[in-house]
Amino acid sequence: MWADLDPVGRASSGGYRRFAWTAEDHTLREWFAGECAARGLDLVEDRMGNQWAWWGDPDTDGPGVVVGSHLDSVPDGGAYDGPLGVVSGLATVDALRATGFRPSTPIAVVNFGDEEGARFGVACAGSRVITGAMTAERALGLTDVDGVSMAEALRAAGRAPDTIGRDDETLRRIGQFVELHVEQGRALADLDPATSAVAVGTDIWPHGRWRIDLPGTANHAGTTALADRQDAMLSAAEVVLAARSAAAEHGCVATTGKIAVEPGGVNAIPSHVRLWLDARGADQNAVKATVSAVEAAARRFGGTLTEESWTETTRFDDTLSGRLRGILGEHTPMLGTGAGHDAGVLATAGVSTSMLFVRNPTGVSHSPEEFAERDDCLRGVEALTKVVRELAS
């Protein structure tokens, strides 16, 4: 399976460009459908085109146990983020069948569409639409860099945009969802190598985005004495450094990855700088304390900080996570994550959800350098197989 996927959407960087509702996406969806057909699984698409492959009938014998992840990627993304969960799901079905296992509840492997939001800017669009976290109207109106709306993209892919929307029938079929995913940090690599190939996910960190506006006065870069300047960029520099030290102090992460400068001339003193802060951390209060410190720094320079989004901790189902650890053994690490997933969207919608993370030796993700050892991937399949065998018995 890994060899089949290897060339699809591969860019010259060595990374992948697999964006929603493109030719590459179509190839991946067809590949998934083929793998499911070869296994005699029943493939159904929900109202957003997410693909669900059932072993057993969820409508008569459900709800069932669902595994899987996504096949799309960020620009120049790695091979593992998403596909590892889908391939491991299919390999789990094979492993269970090889031992003659007969599930007493149905089992499904899901391929969520448009998880990364690389084309239309909203992550987890597939799960957001079916849970109602994003309305059909908003989804269809999103546009890509070429100005193509999601409605147009769906139509071009041969689909009917007016049928998308919340899908309670699909949600009712899910008893539990366990998403296996490559770890996107180095927490497992830093633990005892003997016991840390696979972890159980506990939660998605609280995270948010804030806009910071800093004022200055435009003036000539050559004739204005240093003492006479009100330079918004100097304030911005101070605020960026304040974010870094506040994050370090409170044990969070903070990033200022986007900035806009006015008037934007090489020879003009900046009259206004706008920058955006992304802050996350395991502890909600620590993140808020970090943001407060950044706001205080902005105020010192006459600036303001405005919240653009804030998502509190998304806890997976503690009972399910505890059960997973019971199945895999008490040595299994429990891990929160700073990255978003479809599992988080389903958990917020009230679905019993947990995750398994496979060790990433460098922690690098969303990059061609993303990697997981073959042995660790196989241990991930083993863990997922144990879990599904138990949950579907």
Taking contact as CB under 5 A, which single stretch among the options 23-31, 79-87, 188-196, 365-373 is the one that binds Zn ion? 79-87
Note whether 72 binds Zn ion by CB under 5 A.
no
Tokens of 283: 């502890």
> Which residues fall within 8 angstroms of residue 43, CB to CB, at 6 or more apart?
33, 36, 37, 51, 52, 53, 54
Q: How far is the CB of 185 from Zn ion (least distance, A)?
A: 13
Three-class SS state of 220? strand
For Zn ion, the closer of residues 58 and 77 by Cβ is 77
Note whether 82 binds Zn ion by CB under 5 A.
yes
Element (H, E) at 311: strand 304-311
Q: What is the DSSP letter of 165?
A: S
Note whether 183 binds Zn ion by CB under 5 A.
no
Q: How far is the CB of 181 from Zn ion (least distance, A)?
A: 6
Taking contact as CB under 5 A, which single stretch among the options 81-89, 134-142, 144-152, 314-322 is the one that binds Zn ion? 81-89
For Zn ion, the closer of residues 123 and 153 by Cβ is 123
Cβ contacts of 152-160, under 8 Å, gap ≥ 24: 153/20, 153/21, 153/119, 153/120, 154/21, 154/49, 156/21, 157/21, 157/25, 157/26, 159/21, 159/49
For Zn ion, the closer of residues 271 and 348 by Cβ is 348
Taking contact as CB under 5 A, which single stretch among the options 77-85, 228-236, 320-328, 373-381 is the one that binds Zn ion? 77-85
Q: How far is the CB of 316 from Zn ion (least distance, A)?
A: 15
* Per rule CB under 5 A, count of chain residues that contact Zn ion: 2
Tokens of 181: 């995913």
Three-class SS state of 240? helix
Query: Which residues on adjacent β-strands are paired with residue 310?
Result: 208
Q: Is the separation of the CB atoms in 157 and 43 below 8 Å?
A: no
Q: How far is the CB of 107 from Zn ion (least distance, A)?
A: 21
Taking contact as CB under 5 A, which single stretch among the options 15-23, 76-84, 260-268, 357-365 is the one that binds Zn ion? 76-84
Q: How far is the CB of 366 from Zn ion (least distance, A)?
A: 9
For Zn ion, the closer of residues 53 and 355 by Cβ is 355
Where do we find the tokens 């908003």?
138
> Which residues fall within 8 angstroms of residue 302, CB to CB, at 6 or more apart?
214, 215, 235
Q: How far is the CB of 199 from Zn ion (least distance, A)?
A: 15
Question: Which one of 46, 81, 231, 376 is in contact with Zn ion (CB under 5 A)?
Answer: 81
Note whether 78 binds Zn ion by CB under 5 A.
no
366/364 Cα distance (integer angstroms): 7
Q: How far is the CB of 146 from Zn ion (least distance, A)?
A: 24
Q: How far is the CB of 132 from Zn ion (least distance, A)?
A: 22
For Zn ion, the closer of residues 73 and 235 by Cβ is 73
Taking contact as CB under 5 A, which single stretch among the options 48-56, 73-81, 130-138, 350-358 is the one that binds Zn ion? 73-81
312/206 Cα distance (integer angstroms): 4
- β-pairing, 207-215 vs 352-358, is unpaired
For Zn ion, the closer of residues 181 and 323 by Cβ is 181
Q: How far is the CB of 70 from Zn ion (least distance, A)?
A: 6
For Zn ion, the closer of residues 124 and 136 by Cβ is 124
Taking contact as CB under 5 A, which single stretch among the options 40-48, 82-90, 100-108, 193-201 is the one that binds Zn ion? 82-90
Angle among Cα 159, 164, 167 to the nearest 5 degrees reads 130
108/100 Cα distance (integer angstroms): 17
180/201 Cα distance (integer angstroms): 9
Q: How far is the CB of 115 from Zn ion (least distance, A)?
A: 6
For Zn ion, the closer of residues 56 and 77 by Cβ is 77
| Total residue count of the chain as it appears in this document | 393
Tokens of 101: 């296992």
Note whether 83 binds Zn ion by CB under 5 A.
no
Tokens of 171: 């949600």
Residues that bind Zn ion (CB under 5 A): 81-82
